[in-house]
Amino acid sequence: MFLESLPHTQLSSSSTFPHRTFIASSPTTAINCGRKSSIQVANMAHTILHLRSETKPLEHRSALTPTTTRKLIEAGYEVRVERSPVRIFDDAEFEAAGATLVPEYSWESAPSDVIIVGLKELEEKEFPLKHVHVTFLHVYKNQGGWEKTLSRFPRGGGTLLDLEFLANESGRRVAAFGFHAGFSGAALALENWAWQLTHPGEPFPAVEAYPNEDALIVDVKKALDEGIAKAGRKPRVIVIGALGRCGSGAVEMAKRAGVEDIVRWDMEETKNPGPYKEITDADIFVNCIYLSQPIPPFLNRESLQVPGRNLSVICDVSADTTNPHNPIPVYTVATTFDKPTVPVEGLENPPLSVISIDHLPSLLPRESSEAFSNDLLPTLLNLKDWRNDSVWARAEKLFQDKVALLPAELQKREA
């Protein structure tokens, strides 16, 4: 098991968030006598990046920010930004940074040498993909529907450079949303624990994005105080994967919310296979591991039947819902900000609910986007010659390896 080593402000007027006050080509490489040809240098100087509008519901983050966009333009890139009604940054912020604003969904008809930059999954459509796409796609771990989604690339001659698998020579990811994923997940878990006590039998309500960490903490503390008054004590929280970026975010949130009883587990504590009684002894379990290989489950339905179970909230930050090796095999539903929790059927006294939102950092979209994009920037600056950059080249090789696993008929390029 490999635990995730993921990372660690005002909102745009183009988005609607009731919590806040707003402030208004993939080139080829030509080598000639040890030097790049003048033709290639010219091509590299005009590499075009096209930032697409996100279509995932309640996804407000962005892989590029106005700050990183300006730095890319200063480095010689042309950056086109699709107008977006939901992105946390206002369109005008990108325009002021020097980007060209273009219509939503215009990436589909962009020339094939334009590099498409996004964040979350593309819409589930049928047409082949002809571009290089830089995005999270979630198709490399045999997730549900992965073959159909991945096959769109070889069918159109396109390439996926998956943001989840951009790593340096030592295997460490160059950028990740882990800190804010863990931070946000723990926040919702604490609020859900309190909600169960103050509103028994009622589903946890929809949540919306916050302008910053401090505003989120205010709400968490308020809810937690009400829950503590009902329970007569503070909750115990167990975080597995506590030493990684994601786990450190979860621990940080719990500490800032005033929770002292935090059980921090990582590889040493999980070297013996589960299920683990320590999980059911806690009130809240936050799962922050990076699932890279099959592992025994951390808990199962049998382990949840123990007398005196305290566990009432699971936040599966990893959200490997459709992964056949999900180490929390007691739920099968990915939750959303509109419906944050799903109950584990058949359990009462206390009831048990699961949070499995797969884009938790969008609870803090501006801060998480700024942190991620700043970390990603040095790698983005090498996109003009990506085939000769080690990080991008490894991502391309992984893509080719995964395509090779597709049925032969799904690997064929369409005429």
Kindly write down the DSSP assignment for every residue of 156-202, as one continuous string. Answer: HT-EEEEGGG-B-TTS-BS---HHHHHHHHHHHHHHHHHHHHHSTTS
Q: Does residue 266 have a known ligand-binding role?
A: yes
Q: Does residue 290 have a known ligand-binding role?
A: yes
Q: Is 60 a known active-site residue?
A: no
Q: Does residue 281 have a known ligand-binding role?
A: no
Q: Does residue 358 have a known ligand-binding role?
A: yes
Q: Does residue 359 have a known ligand-binding role?
A: yes
Q: Does residue 210 have a known ligand-binding role?
A: no
- Choosing from 60, 133, 138, 234, the catalytic residue is 138
Q: Does residue 270 have a known ligand-binding role?
A: yes
Q: Does residue 317 have a known ligand-binding role?
A: yes
Q: Does residue 172 have a known ligand-binding role?
A: yes
Strand pairing class (48-51; 35-36):
unpaired
Bridge-partner residues for 341, per DSSP? 355
Q: Judge contact between 409 and 53, C-beta under 8 A.
A: no
- Reported residue count of the chain is 415
Helix, strand, or coil (residue 262)? strand
Q: Is 120 a known active-site residue?
A: yes
- Choosing from 50, 60, 71, 120, the catalytic residue is 120
Bridge-partner residues for 51, per DSSP? 81, 117
User: What is the 3-class SS of 315-384, one letter each residue?
Assistant: EECCCCCCCCCCCCCCCCCCCCCCCCEEECCCCCCCCCEEECCCCHHHHCHHHHHHHHHHHHHHHHCCHH
34: left (phi over 0), alpha (psi -120 to 50) or beta: left
Binding site for NAD(+), residues? 172, 244-245, 266, 270, 290, 317, 357-360
By annotation, the residues acting in catalysis are 120, 138
Binding site, residues? 172, 244-245, 266, 270, 290, 317, 357-360
